[in-house]
Amino acid sequence: MPQLDNVKFEPYPLPHLLDSVKWSAIIDLMTASQPTKPRHHGNLKTALVEAGVALLAEGGHGALTLRKCAARAGVSHAAPAHHFNGLKGLMTAIVAQGFKLFTQTMIEHRDAADEDPHARLVAVCNGYLAFAQDNQAMAALMFRTDEIFTCEAEYQTISSASYQVLAEACAPFNAGPAGARGVEVLIWSLVEGYASLARAGTIDTVETPFAAILPRLNLQLR
């Protein structure tokens, strides 16, 4: 049996061990408290826009802030500054997405209609109203030009595409003294006014459907 009197014990570095345990626990705690980074596949800008579109649909214009969009996208509140010129820049990108859907909806309605110019114009207007009804907050924001950068090239291209759908539907009709632009403005004013009044609950769209109003303009083909 070994003689313990002849065994030399080295002092155990207990203070160092406690320090290691303490820092390990702190690191574990910090790591656990950090949110898992979302996977944006390198397209954070798109993720922020999608977050803004969702917030707008859920809470209206008042729900749109840079911090809320960042939180919804799962990134730091400073992240939007790397891609947008403030909240106005982000809202411009959000509205651009709205115009894309707006154009698509009008085209889908138009293409499902007969070839008759009157039927196609009614269909485009119905697409306009369907979008306005299904995306009320977006439809209201899209024409608030003081809230967005209307000079941005992407916005101009996308919004012009929407107007072009309406302009093409108006083109077959006799312009009269006001010219082609006059017919476009007439129809645009009518359908946008109807959409705004319907959104405000001022008119009953079942009692007074738009399809019953448009023919009263008595538009004549060229």
CATH number, domain of 176, equals 1.10.357.10
Nearest to 125 by CA among 109, 138, 142: 109
100 & 203 share domain: yes
78 & 100 share domain: no
Q: What is the pLDDT of residues 143-171, one digit of tens each?
A: 999 999 999 999 999 999 999 999 999 99
CATH number for the domain harbouring residue 66: 1.10.10
156 & 73 share domain: no
pTM: 0.79
Domain containing 135 equals 96-217
- If one counts the domains in the chain, the total is 2
103 & 200 share domain: yes
Q: Are 219 and 173 in contact (CB under 8 A)?
A: yes
Mean pLDDT on 7-16:
49
Looking at the DSSP assignment, which residues form a beta bridge with residue 173?
Answer: 221
Residue 50 lies in a domain: yes
Q: What is the pLDDT of residues 81-136, one digit of tens each?
A: 888 999 999 999 999 999 999 999 999 999 999 999 999 999 999 999 999 999 99
Does residue 39 surpass a pLDDT of 90? no
Give Cβ neighbours of residue 197 (< 8 Å, ≥ 6 apart). Answer: 203
100 & 206 share domain: yes
Query: What's the rounded Cα separation, in Å, for the pair 104 and 136?
Result: 16
Residue 3 lies in a domain: no
